Chains A and B, each alone.
Chain A
């Protein structure tokens, strides 16, 4: 079985600050690194390879030249090989799907194409549904694991209040839930060889036959809408029962939509 894991770099949110005076993101110390969700997707692919005792895991990275590091990190973690597709920074979702589809074909096709969930700084959104549509393949969402057995492959996906086991008709596309498994660390022995020259195949959009028109972004980033500035040192007065009720009301308003309280 051949599994292609779609990976890219994302902004490390800890390195991005908000400039309230300029109402924009302060990116002076921003760092791009391999997205955690993509490492979880790679981990899931490696587990399938190990459980079925056969097959190949290929990391397919889309990004700029710095994303070469992500391709090599994937090899160090356990991918059999990696490819990098060079893409413009303001790539649109349709362009991303087109590049992955073309690169997957160049790699000889795949039984399973998997991707991680988008992160909050991502403006392309979920790529797996686009990819499934572009390739006319079945889509599995929120997958937390695969079971390889004699009858084929089944997936377990996270649903409302539990999990669902579903048979997988290969080839297929899957989006991996972040809770699927903790990514493993790179192996020291593989780190030693992963950065050797010529190990990562690199293609441009042109080489893959994807036109500039397809790569055009479908969204344009504007300014920031800032929330209220954090106010520390507020005191809620009143008797303990009154203060408790007031605090619950304040926190429910503050964390609306997060189901925290």
Chain B
């Protein structure tokens, strides 16, 4: 018994529409026309996804005046660049994509991207992940899988996007570097649509929330190993350079370098910053209990046998004040 195309279509659960660069595929959208390194990283990820899905990558660059930079998207993995003028609202993009039936629409997780992605998913009845750090394709069901960071990126939750199109806002800083493949070829066309301009609003100054020991993402902890006020000044300079908070351990309190409210440890404050830099801190149990929830602990002190060494993520065995000054220099 012979088998024709319709039998094969029935077996595969769908029809074989001819794949063209005008329909289907993976679209990357720059709604404000910005084509920076982050967007090129996203184009590269779209390339990987499209290769797995068997489709084209198209970059839609809206906005005004930034189209000239878009050519870099071809070596980064785009097959086609489509330009449009004005900044689209979600409804504009929905109208645009209804005619093109994309498999996936990827946006950078900018303020505009965060506003557009959920609305677009709502209008197109698609699936949404609005804080993805990476993307993959389910090899069996050919669905897009978004990796969403959880617990301060200690792990990533995988979300299978069930509906088509899959709309994903991606944190482009977390993606690998953009491809640079000059042999790639592509074309640039105009969508011949003119979207509106966003209204201009009055800029106002916002009060910056005060930095506290508990809210600071970076805490520099001064310990007795800093020796004197000059060493503490170096620690303070480091905290300033990192936009962090200067605290101390019990010995720093005894030396009068910090106040009681600025002491870290079980007898002071228990903190959980992203980065804790301990300068001249031995690391007794009191200190370690107060910083055990920090995501990363760096220690600089002179004793290679100090209790803090196996506790800290990174150790620098050196004069802590000198190291603090060198670290400030390295940051610049």
Contact = CB atoms under 8 A, between A and B. Distances in A.
Interface of A: 13, 16, 18, 25, 93-94, 97, 118, 120-121, 123-130, 132-134, 139, 141-142, 144, 156-160, 162-166, 179, 217-227, 230-237, 240-241, 243-245, 247-248, 250-251, 254-261
A233 B309 contact: yes
A260 B162 contact: no
B322 A240 contact: yes
A92 B116 CA distance: 18
Given A93-B128, A129-B122, A220-B160, A226 B313 contact: no
Contacts, number: 222
Q: Is the interface of B mostly helix, strand, loop or mixed?
A: mixed
Interface in B95-141: 111, 114-119, 121-123, 125-131, 133-134
A233 B315 CA distance: 7
B205 A163 contact: yes
A163 B91 CA distance: 26
Given A125-B128, A144-B206, A240-B326, A218 B162 contact: yes
Contact of A243 (B118, B146, B150, B323): B323
A247 B111 contact: no
A225 B147 contact: yes
B155 interface: yes
Most chain A Cβ neighbours within 10 Å, of B117, B163, B218, B314: B314
B119 to A, nearest CB: 4
25 contacts: A13-B150, A13-B151, A118-B131, A120-B149, A123-B148, A139-B119, A141-B111, A141-B115, A144-B206, A156-B206, A164-B202, A218-B127, A219-B128, A222-B157, A227-B154, A232-B310, A232-B312, A233-B311, A235-B304, A240-B319, A244-B327, A247-B327, A248-B331, A250-B314, A260-B242
Contacts of B158: 221-225
A120 B153 CA distance: 9
A178 B150 CA distance: 18
B201 interface: yes
Nearest to A160: B111
A123 B157 contact: yes
Given A94-B125, A129-B90, A241-B329, A260 B218 contact: yes
Contacts of A231: 313
B14 interface: no
B330 A159 contact: no
A260 B155 CA distance: 19
Given A163-B205, A218-B163, A219-B128, A240 B157 contact: no
Interface of B: 90-91, 111, 114-119, 121-123, 125-131, 133-134, 145-151, 153-163, 171, 173-174, 199, 201-206, 209, 217-218, 242, 274-275, 296-298, 304, 309-319, 322-323, 326-327, 329-331
Closest 3 A/B residue pairs (Cβ) = A257-B173, A125-B130, A222-B158
A242 to B, nearest CB: 9
Contacts of A124: 128
B117 A125 contact: yes
B331 A218 contact: no
Contacts of B242: 260-261
